């Protein structure tokens, strides 16, 4: 698919910068999963985890350090896999491994099963088809396993983020849009933004997400919505050391992120 190939090329441009940023964060002790994820994921001691869309492996390594027995990171981009392996080797974390794969075709080549499928912070919009995603998750899970997702809320993704700090709400990306948005830049959260790429991003509504998982035979244990964002989308305040950001005016107005836990549905 041309959009996926284009996204692969785009993400490869910032692999090395992400590696450097995450390596520094580990060295100065600041890299960790955000506060909501830590609270909701619970005790992962001894668990086998697959981390979808792992980028250069920083959160894969964080999960491994939190007590998981083995964490497998999966990402589309060969450069990300190269740097994820290097990051783990450099900071001497050994209970991780990394596989280059498109999530959309992963189930054709990978038949291991896990206690937890984990995916977070900037993931679903890069995938064109959530039904394939959900079916893949179903095949990756052991019978008593669960899926945990933390991502941008689609309501927030529909807004023009450059106007939010002025408390202006303008729909820029149609909530029910089916065609991907194309941007000519990538990154900007753990690296400088790089231009001259074509990055395709799909909108998935809350019902798209729930229905895809439900159709694949998963039961939603919870879906939580949060006013905080996991990156600074423009003049946001840091929320303590939780790894999250907020607008002071947005104590209760609109959601910026959501989390979800799902298990296998047993009739
Ligand atoms: C915003 S990053 C996710 C970062 C994540 N929060 C982490 O753990 O570091 C999105 C990642 O999705 C990956 N990606 C995009 N499309 C993909 C696909 N179809 N299959 C697998 N990975 C994909 C990109 O290469 C990129 O590393």
Contact 265, 217 (CB under 8 A): yes
The CATH number of whichever domain residue 156 belongs to comes to 3.40.50.150
* Residues found in the chain: 267
Q: Give pLDDT tens digits for 60-80.
A: 999 999 999 999 999 999 999
In short, whether 15's Cβ falls inside 6 Å of ligand 1 is: no
| Alpha carbons 72 and 63: distance in angstroms, whole number | 10
Atom of ligand 1 nearest to the CA of 128: 19
**Atom number in ligand 1 closest to CA 51:** 8
Residues spanned by the domain of 249: 2-264
Distance CA 129, CA 120 (A): 17
Q: Given the CA of residue 122, which atom of ligand 1 is nearest to it?
A: 1
User: What's the total number of domains in the chain?
Assistant: 1
* Nearest-10 Cα torsion for 161, 53, 51, 27: -70
* Cβ 234 under 6 angstroms from ligand 1: no
Distance CA 69, CA 96 (A): 9
CB 19 within 8 A of CB 191: no
How much is the pLDDT for 94?
A: 96
Taking CA atoms, 215 is separated from 114, 208, 220, in Å, by 20, 10, 11
User: Token match 């690296």: residue?
Assistant: 191
Structure token digits, residue 41: 């994921």
The whole-number pLDDT of residue 49 equals: 98
Q: Which residues of the chain have pLDDT under 70?
A: 267
């Amino acid at each position: 698919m041309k959009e996926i190939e284009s996204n692969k090329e785009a993400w490869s441009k910032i692999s090395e910068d992400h590696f450097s940023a995450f390596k520094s964060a580990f060295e100065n002790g600041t890299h960790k999963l955000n506060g909501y994820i830590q609270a909701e994921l619970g005790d992962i001691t001894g668990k086998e985890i697959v981390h979808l869309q792992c980028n250069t492996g920083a959160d894969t390594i964080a999960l491994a350090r939190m007590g998981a027995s083995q964490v497998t990171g999966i990402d589309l981009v060969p450069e990300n896999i190269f740097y994820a392996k290097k990051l783990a080797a450099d900071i001497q974390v050994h209970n991780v491994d990394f596989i280059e794969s498109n999530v959309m075709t992963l189930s054709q080549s990978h038949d291991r099963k896990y206690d937890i499928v984990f995916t977070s912070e900037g993931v679903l919009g890069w995938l064109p088809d959530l039904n394939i995603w959900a079916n893949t998750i179903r095949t990756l899970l052991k019978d008593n396993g669960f899926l945990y997702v933390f991502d941008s809320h689609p309501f927030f993704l529909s807004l023009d983020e450059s106007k939010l700090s002025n408390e202006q709400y303008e729909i820029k990306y149609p909530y029910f849009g089916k065609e991907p948005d194309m941007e000519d830049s990538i990154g900007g959260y753990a690296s400088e933004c790089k231009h001259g790429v074509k990055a395709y991003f799909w909108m998935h509504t809350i019902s798209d997400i729930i229905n895809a998982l439900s159709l694949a035979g998963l039961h939603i244990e919870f879906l939580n919505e949060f006013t905080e964002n996991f990156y600074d989308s423009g003049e946001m305040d840091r929320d303590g050391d939780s790894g999250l950001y907020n607008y002071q005016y947005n104590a209760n107005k609109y959601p910026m992120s959501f989390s979800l836990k799902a298990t296998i549905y047993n009739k």
